[in-house]
Chains A and B, each alone.
Chain A
Amino acid sequence: MGVNVRIIPRLDIKGPNLVKGVHLEGLRVLGKPERFARFYYEQGADEILYMDVVASLYGRNSLLDMVARTSREIFVPLTVGGGLRTLDDIRAVLRAGADKVAINTAAIRDPELIRGAAERFGSSTIVVSIEAIRQRDGRFEAYTDNGREPTGVEVLEWAERAAALGAGELMITSVDREGTGAGFDLELTRGVADRVRIPVIACGGAGRLEHVRDVATRGGVSGICLASMLHYNFTRHHRDDGEFEGEGNIVYLKTRESLSKIQDATIPQLKASLQAHGVPCRPVSTVYAPI
């Protein structure tokens, strides 16, 4: 009855490189973001997410160039987040070719930014990203700066408020699960999905096909972000050493040792698994004919 669940590759970006960490930290360099984005588009990704994890204004122009290059090559929606603080920042990313923006830190500091951005650019352009960490009392607290800074804001209340202020979608990252391959936090995604009537995207924890199925069938979500599962599959099949630039942890590129808990997969495999379990999604068979 609902909408077809979206598979959204999440590309964490540091400088010119695609990186991947655990709990949003300990970043390893995996390669060039544009190559991954192009490959995922051709494989049938329903959207692409670029997250600038350094989020410094230093180097912002190179991110905008990367967004512009990517936007020319992929013809599915591109969402860009990380360090967007003002309406001008949002405008710049949209003008570079992003279709949507994800905001977190700035929205928590000034929730009115959500309203202003939704009025200016349209609700459907504004994704509010929430980084959640489970507390000892079982509640979830929203964090900023890649899960480093506590805010004292309770996640479910914040989700409801963000929706009321005009967010078009919510992206919920479980920092506890992120990069671990231990599965999505279904209590978190379900809790948020039950509180709002806008689409919710789950992020953080996918390690196996059944995790993706679980969050699609029981997590209440409309979209699913994946990183490690897809990236490690890509790097396993596309050896291209020396494609990184600048500084960063390149141990992975040299050793190719991925995390044992992650069973990598391709997007067609993921979608076939979802469809075999009755989860509607955009079929892969009609997706890509070379042009």
Chain B
Amino acid sequence: MHLSESKAPLVAIVDYGVGNLFSVKHACEYVGMRARITASGEELLEASAVILPGVGAFGDAMAMLGRLDLVSVLREIAGSGKPLIGICLGMQLLMTESHEFGRHQGLGIIRGEVVMFERSVVKDLRVPHVGWNSIHPDAAGGWTGSLLEGLADGEFMYFVHSLYVSPDDSSVALSTTRYGGIEFCSSLKTGNVSAFQFHPERSGPCGLAVYRNLAVQIGGGMSEVTRSREGSK
């Protein structure tokens, strides 16, 4: 069943001047959601879900969110129960602080820090970490009830980053991924806040499953589990 254009749930994609917002928008639309790229706090508060994407430097990104008056809006959304999703730099911005070129305060929505891949740790480790890598469930409960529901352990996703998050409470980690000798938190979930270090919108059909799960959560579409069970197209 297709929801009419106006009834489809609306996702707001935070536009603070960096990142490929368009691939996020296309992925949302592909699974039947409406998506709006916006820097308006009001529009973020009105949407059914908010995605904080991003590529680039942490300090600049926080400065831009500050100039756009979005820091308190994003904290409010995090506390509201509405799905808030950080992707790549957007995941890192949710944390308390980052060690990218000095120390920078983050949004502080999730306690923990953002750290660099140390080239010195593993010989032949190339940074940035660019390419496809597998994700593995970190929690005993697997991915049930999360945006990764329906995906298999070891599924491949597309990564491109030089830093990764290290949450204080490791139980928020949804998946881990290994690069070189380093195992890092590649996605997390706490309450209504989810975050991915990889790019679901650029991770092929498996990544689109993440968006489809979001569509189900906010009231449209069919979940990845139901879809595969029914073998529907």
Contact = CB atoms under 8 A, between A and B. Distances in A.
Interface stretch (B43-51, B72-80, B121-129): B121-129
A124 B127 CA distance: 10
B44 to A, nearest CB: 21
Q: B interface, by DSSP: helix, strand, loop or mixed? A: mixed
Interface string A230-264: 00000000000000000000000000000000000
A76 B126 contact: no
Contact of B128 (A119, A123, A223): A123
Contact of A124 (B161, B181, B203): B161
Nearest to B181: A1
Interface in A45-91: 46, 68, 71-72, 75-77
B7 interface: no
A198 B128 contact: yes
B131 A4 contact: yes
Contacts of B127: 197-198
Interface stretch (B17-25, B141-149, B168-176, B183-191): B17-25
Interface string B110-139: 000000000100101111111111000000
Contacts of B204: 41, 75-76, 287-288
Given A77-B158, A198-B127, 13 more contacts: A2-B180, A3-B133, A41-B204, A68-B22, A71-B23, A72-B26, A75-B202, A97-B22, A99-B23, A121-B18, A124-B128, A283-B156, A287-B205
A77 B158 CA distance: 8
A99 B202 contact: yes
* Interface range on chain A (Cβ under 8 Å from partner): 35 or more
B71 to A, nearest CB: 21
Interface of A: 1-6, 41, 46, 68, 71-72, 75-77, 94-99, 119-125, 168-169, 197-199, 222-223, 281-283, 286-291
Contacts of B179: 3
* Interface range on chain B (Cβ under 8 Å from partner): 35 or more
A286 B206 CA distance: 8
Contact of B130 (A124, A286, A288, A289): A124
A123 B57 CA distance: 9
Nearest to B126: A199
B192 interface: no
A124 B201 contact: no
B65 to A, nearest CB: 16
A222 B130 contact: yes
Contacts of A198: 126-128
A247 to B, nearest CB: 31
Contact of B208 (A2, A75, A124, A199): A75
Contacts of A4: 131-133, 156
A122 B18 contact: yes
B217 interface: no
Contacts of A2: 124-126, 180
A75 B207 contact: yes
A286 B26 contact: no
Nearest to B124: A2
B56 interface: yes
A167 to B, nearest CB: 10
B22 A95 contact: yes
Contacts of B3: none
Q: Which 6 A-B pairs have the closest CB atoms?
A: A122-B56, A282-B132, A122-B55, A3-B131, A97-B22, A124-B160
Interface in B17-40: 18-20, 22-23, 26-27, 29-30
A290 B205 CA distance: 8
